[in-house]
Every structure is written in C-alpha cells, then in structure tokens.
A and B are shown apart, each in its own frame.
Chain A
Amino acid sequence: AQKVTQAQTEISVVEKEDVTLDCVYETRDTTYYLFWYKQPPSGELVFLIRRNSFDEQNEISGRYSWNFQKSTSSFNFTITASQVVDSAVYFCALSNFGNEKLTFGTGTRLTIIP
C-alpha cells in the first residue's frame, strides 16, 4: 500500500523567510512519481512539480526548490523569500507508473504573515 505523510499540519512564517514543507512517502513500487500541488484559498489544485523515482536531482523553479532523497523516502519542498501569495494548503502526492492514481498526504497549511 502507498502512503504519504505530511507531518506539519500548519506552518506560519513571516514574509521573506524561507520555509520547508516536509513529505515522507511509503511504497513497495520501485518506479513511481512524486508530486506537489498548491491549493490556494480559492480552492483549485495547482500543479507544481512531478518527479519520477529515477531522477533524484534537485529541482529549482524560481523561489521554489525540491529535494528528493530516495534513501530517506522524502520529497521536501522549500520556498525561498516567502510571499503572502504563497499562503495556501500544499499537498504532496505519490503514484505508481501503472495506473497513475494519486495518493495524497493530508496537506500542510502555510500562512505567510505580512
């Protein structure tokens, strides 16, 4: 069975601080995908990134970066120089290569204080 754990339920930081959202996953599959989604107060799910299990390179996109470590089954997400618009619930998710069903973590609510 697949499982995704986001231990941080809520995080609050002051604007311009850096913040890291943790994600730990469990799967018996050797090949899989990992995702991050953002859900702002308006409610839609915004795709941020997909990584496959073969690619452990860290990724940077503007103020966002992701650290994938298979040895610890973690896929953490860092926002640098946070902004108020980053306030949202962030979900980490996992799928296998077969049916693409997403197993979501319980989400981390991030609040950026101006």
Chain B
Amino acid sequence: DTAVSQTPKYLVTQMGNDKSIKCEQNLGHDTMYWYKQDSKKFLKIMFSYNNKELIINETVPNRFSPKSPDKAHLNLHINSLELGDSAVYFCASSDRDRGGYTFGSGTRLTVV
C-alpha cells in the first residue's frame, strides 16, 4: 500500500484553467504538507495542515487553495493557472513523535 499517494501523476493544462491535485496518506500522521519543486530542483514548502487546521502558508498566491477534509487528506486547488505554475508538486505527511516524514511521488504540472 502506498503511504502517501497523489493524483494525478501528470497534469497538462492550458493557462487560465482551474485544476486540483489530490493527496491521501494512510500513515496516521497528523500533519500534511504541500511542497513545490521548480525547474531548478529547488524545493520549497507551500502549506502545512495539522489535524485539518492550516498551520503554514508561505506567501503563496491566493490562486492556490489547500483543502483538508480530514487529517488523512490534503488537496490543492489552483485557479487561473499561469505558465509559472509549471512545477512538480509534492505532498508529504509527518508524525513529530514517531519521526516519520514521507513524501508522495509528486505531480508534474505543465501549463501551456
């Protein structure tokens, strides 16, 4: 069973469209994250949720809206996609006490 699963793995879309990326973890972790990896491989946190509450929002444009329906899910919705949004988006989850910090396999978003 995949511990942190993201869908879709690849997403190609036109500028101006709205799209969502879904993430689910079956590790029982309390905290979930979205990270963005740009074309130069630089990884940066976007959001963090703990038990469905937003903890971190790292100066991300408000076109990006995370939604956590429960602590096992953290979805990312992006409105009015721009060329600069093209990147790989990673979902992750962590458990502070047990020390796990696991990433999903990534979603490669290409905006054309």
The chain A residues found within 8 Å of chain B, CB to CB, are 33, 35, 37, 39, 43-45, 47, 50, 89, 91, 93, 95, 97, 99-104, 106-107
Please classify the interface of chain B as helix (H, G, I), strand (E, B), loop, or mixed, using the class held by over half of its residues: strand
Q: B55 at the A/B interface (Cβ < 8 Å)? A: yes
Please classify the interface of chain A as helix (H, G, I), strand (E, B), loop, or mixed, using the class held by over half of its residues: strand
Chain A residues whose C-beta falls within 8 Å of the C-beta of B42 in the assembled complex: 104, 106-107
In the complex, are the beta carbons of A100 and B106 less than 8 A apart?
A: no
Q: Nearest 6 A-B pairs (CB), nearest first?
A: A45-B103, A104-B43, A44-B105, A100-B94, A101-B45, A107-B41
Q: A73 to B88: give the CA distance in the assembly, Å.
A: 30
Chain B residues whose C-beta falls within 8 Å of the C-beta of A44 in the assembled complex: 103, 105-106
Which residues of B in the span 51-89 have a Cβ within 8 Å of any Cβ on A? 55-56, 88
Q: Report the nearest B residue to A39, measured CB to CB.
A: B41
The chain B residues found within 8 Å of chain A, CB to CB, are 31, 33, 35, 40-45, 48, 50, 55-56, 88, 90, 92, 94, 96, 99, 101-103, 105-106, 108
In the complex, are the beta carbons of A47 and B55 less than 8 A apart?
A: no
In the complex, are the beta carbons of B101 and A35 less than 8 A apart?
A: yes
Tell me, rounded to whole Å, the shortest Cβ–Cβ distance linking A18 to chain B: 24
In the complex, are the beta carbons of B96 and A97 less than 8 A apart?
A: yes
Chain A residues whose C-beta falls within 8 Å of the C-beta of B92 in the assembled complex: 102
Among candidates A39, A47, A99, A103, residue contacting B102 with C-beta atoms closer than 8 Å: A47
Q: A43 to B87: give the CA distance in the assembly, Å.
A: 12
In the complex, are the beta carbons of B56 and A99 less than 8 A apart?
A: yes
